[in-house]
Amino acid sequence: MAEEKITLEENFAAVEESLKKMEQSDLPLEDAFKLYEDSVKRLKACADEIDDVEKKVKALMSDGSTADFE
């Protein structure tokens, strides 16, 4: 479960890093574009990660099964 958290945070950190690099004007355009491409992919992954899923509250039964709660 912990790996998802790392992915999201790592992705954000990576995008932030790329942005810092892109803000340096001496970066060649090709590299800047690579960073952009990578960042867009990462942000897409982040978006997928945090996307709304169907909200669910389930009650876990003592036998290990779950039932809808509410």
Partner 1 sequence: MPVNKYTVTQVTNYILKMFRSDPFLGSVAVSGEVSNLTYHRSGHIYFSLKDENSIIAAAMFKNKTSGLKFRLEEGMKVVAYGKIDVYAPSGRYQLISEKIENAGAGDLAEQFEKLKKELAERGLFAPEYKQPIPKYVKTLGVVTAPTGAAVRDIINVSKRRYPGIQIVLYPALVQGEQAADSIVKGIRALERHGVDLMIVGRGGGSIEDLWAFNEEKVAQAIFDCSIPIISAVGHETDTTIADYVADLRAPTPSAAAEIAVFDYHALVRQWRDMQDRLDSQMDMRIKSEKRNSGHLEARLIQQMFAVLRDKKHKYEELSIKNDSQSPENKLKSFKEKAERYRKELDRNMDGVLAEKKLWHSEMREDADSLMEERLKDIRLRYERYPDKADTLIMKQLQDSRHRFDIMKERLKAVSPLEKISRGYGYLTDGENRPVKSIEDTGAGQNLIIRVSDGEISTEVKATKKVQLA
Interface with partner 1 by CB under 8 A: which residues? 1-2, 4-5, 8-9, 12, 15-16, 18-19, 22-23, 25, 29, 32-33, 36, 39-40, 43, 46-47, 49-60, 62, 64, 66, 69-70
Measured between alpha carbons, how far is 32 from 24 in angstroms, rounded to an integer? Answer: 10
Measured between alpha carbons, how far is 47 from 61 in angstroms, rounded to an integer? Answer: 33
Host H or E run for residue 66: strand 66-68
**Least distance in angstroms from the C-beta of 4 to partner 1:** 7
**Least distance in angstroms from the C-beta of 55 to partner 1:** 6
